[in-house]
Amino acid sequence: MKKAILFIFLALCFAGASAAVYFFGIVPNQERAHIAKNGVPGVGTVTAIRSNTEVNDEPRYRIEFTFVNAETGQKHNGRTADVYTYSELSSLGETVPIKYIGDRAVVMPYKASIMSWLGWILIAAFVAAALGLIVGAVLVIKFSKEASSIKKGGKDGTATFLSSSVGMYINNAPRYKIHYTYTDEFGEYHEGKTGSSYRQDEADAFQSMRTFPIRFAGKKSVILIQKKDLLAAAAAASAAQSAAMQNAAMQAQAFTQPQNPPPQAHPFAPLQAQETSQPQPQPTQQPTPFTQPPALCKFCNAAVTPDMKFCANCGAGLS
C-alpha cells in the first residue's frame, strides 16, 4: 500500500508539472500566434534591446517597444517572447512592424516560440509518465490485495531456493528477484518468484537458508519471512545446519571407534605414573602335590609303610 501511495503522489506531481507547462508555456504561445494571424497591423517604436540568455556562447536578444492602439488611442508597452541574434537585429531600425489586439502585440514577422512544439512534446511526456505511474499504482494495489488474500486464505508450505536474478538497479545497486519451487497440497510442482526488492545480502540469505516458509493458493504464493527478519532467520538456519553437521560427525566418529578402549599411558608421563597405570600381574597358585593313599596289610588290613617287611600287627610277611 505504501508503494501505491508513492506512485499516486508521483503521478500527481507529473500532472502538476504538465499543467504548469501548459498554462505558462503553451497558452501564452497560442495567444501570440492568434495575434500574429488575426491582429491589427501597426508600428512599434523600439525602446530597448536586452540580452538575458546565450545559446552556444552567442547572446540572444529581446526587443522592448511601445505602440499606440489606433482604435482607443492608448499607448501600450510590448516585449518580444522570442529571441533574436545580433545579425537579425542589424536588419531592424528604430521601428518594427507589429500586429496587435488590445494591449497585446507581437513583432512581425512572427517567430513561433519553441514552446509551440516542444511544449506539446513535454505535455505528452508528462501525461504518459503520469498514466504510467497511475497504472503502476493500480497494479501495485492489485498485487497487494492478491498477496493479502493469499496470506489470509492460503495454505502454508515450504519453498526451496532455486536462483536469484537482477531485476533492476537503484542508485547503481542491484535489486534481486528470488526464484523458488514448491509443491502444493495435491503434490503438483510449481515455480514462484518475488519482485525486484531484495539487496545482495538478502538474496544471499535466501541462498544460505535453501528452504523457507511460504503461503500458497494454487499457482500463486507469497514468502512469509519479513525483510527485517530475513538476515536473522538466515543466521539461525546456518547455525542449525552447522550444529546438525557437527552432531553427525560426532556420531560417525563414535561408530568407527571401539567401545571402552583400554587406557593408554601418555608417552611423556612420569615413570611411576606409567607403572601404576599398567595392570599388575596376579599371583599364581601352586598345584597341590599328589599323595598316595596309605598301604594296608592284606591279612589284617593294618596300616603299613613301604619300608616294612613284616606287619607289625599280625607278623605276616609283606613281600
Percent of the residues in the chain that have a pLDDT greater than 70, as a whole number:
71
Question: What is the predicted pLDDT for the residue at 140?
Answer: 65
Contact 74, 67 (CB under 8 A): no
- Exposed/middle/buried for 220, CB within 10 Å: 0-12, 13-18, 19+? middle
d(CA 196, CA 193): 9
Four-CA torsion 251, 256, 259, 265, nearest 10 degrees: -110
* Per-residue pLDDT reduced to its tens digit, 80-114: 876 778 777 777 778 888 999 999 898 887 766 54
Q: At what angle do helices 2-21 and 115-153 cross, to 10 degrees?
A: 170
Four-CA torsion 211, 217, 223, 224, nearest 10 degrees: -100
pTM exceeds 0.75, yes or no = no
Q: What angle do CA 84, 26, 90 make, to 5 degrees?
A: 10
* Per-residue pLDDT reduced to its tens digit, 29-77: 778 888 888 999 999 999 988 887 787 888 888 889 999 998 889 999 9
Q: Where are the domains of the chain?
A: 2-120, 154-246
**Complete DSSP assignment for 249-289:** HHHHHHHHSPSSPPP---TTS-HHHHHHHSPPPPPPPPPPP
Q: For the chain, list residues with pLDDT below 70.
A: 1-8, 11, 18, 21-26, 82, 111-123, 126, 136-137, 139-151, 153, 196, 257-294, 318-319
